[in-house]
Amino acid sequence: MAIITLITDFGLKDGNAAVMKGVILQIAPAVQIVDVSHLIQPQNILEAAMILFRSAMYFPVNTVHTIVVDPGVGTNRRPIAARIGTQYFVCPDNGILSLVIDSAKTEGVAMEFYKLEIPRFWLPQISHVFHGRDIFAPVAAHIANGQNILSMGSAIQDVIRFSFPDPKRTENGWQGEVIYIDHFGNIILNINEQHIGENEIIATKLNGYEIFGQEKTFGNQDEGKLIVLYGSTKNLIIAKVNGDAAKVIQCTIGSLVEITVR
């Protein structure tokens, strides 16, 4: 049974993700549909790119990831389909795939991209405002049915990518920044295990707070304490034991972080 995942900024009330599911199930009745997130901040392509990257790798071979965060809907931005490694991606060409592509490059994984331009894989009528329903859902369903993406449009090389901020080496460690704040209020940094390597983290400074040392997990310190540890994707995170670190520290996406190592 093929799998289609959905990432959108549609929210959970209006029924628009369900409209996409109805369209998918008309074309691919046996597909399994998994909601990854419909709570991407409206029009926030960067956030969608991160949530896609964190989740896609855990899905089976041939999963079709469908991402609709699409401020340019109905303009001349291109709808695309991609095969990256063993998985498929269907989305507007607006940078949403940047992190997946970066990682595939690093790992030497094969990639193909196609501009979607063959209307027989779409709904009969194409609105100017809801390509999730009219183009991306039916295309994802046809791919799940085994349709080759080669047949859906012309190959392209120049998909849009944006660069995520890299941390900088400093005299005593690293300067990075906050890239995401999760549901628990954990603060996720762009500094990961590969940057720190064998070094030991001495101190982490963010927004006037200084946190000493590094923990292995949440529950080894007293409730309420601010701690620094590796999160589930090996990025460093700042957390509050059984609490909400972001509420305490009051940082935002892009806030600078200084880490001292030895």
Minimum CB–partner distance for residue 173 and its own copies (Å): 22
Least distance in angstroms from the C-beta of 257 to its own copies = 19
Separation CA 232–CA 184 (nearest Å): 13
Provide the minimum distance between the beta carbon of 199 and its own copies in the complex, in angstroms, as a whole number. Answer: 18
Distance in Å, CB of 180 to its own copies, minimum: 8
Q: In angstroms, rounded to a whole number, what is the distance separating the alpha carbons of residues 173 and 77?
A: 41
* Dist CA 236 CA 191 (whole Å): 6
Q: Which residues bind its own copies (CB under 8 A)?
A: 1, 3, 5, 7, 9-16, 18-19, 21-23, 25-26, 29-30, 32-40, 42-43, 51, 54-55, 58-60, 63, 71-75, 77, 127-130, 133, 182-184, 216-220, 229-232, 242, 244
Angle formed at CA 144 by CA 159 and CA 140, multiple of 5 degrees: 45
What DSSP assignment string belongs to 149-216? GGGGEEEES-----PPPPPEE-SSEEEEEEEEE-TT-PEEEEEEHHHHTT--EEEEEETTEEEES--S
For residues 58 and 171, which CB has a smaller minimum distance to its own copies in the complex? 58
Shortest Å distance, C-beta 233 to its own copies: 9
Q: Closer to its own copies at the Cβ: 129 or 150? A: 129
Contact 261, 212 (CB under 8 A): no
The 8-class DSSP code of residue 132 comes to: I
CA 8 to chain centre: 11
> Smallest gap, in angstroms, from Cβ of residue 3 to its own copies?
6
Longest dimension (CA), the chain: 62
- By C-beta, is 40 or 152 nearer to its own copies? 40
Of 170 and 232, which CB lies nearer to its own copies in the complex structure? Answer: 232
CB of 113 or CB of 180, closer to its own copies: 180
Q: Which is nearer to its own copies, 54 or 161 (CB)?
A: 54
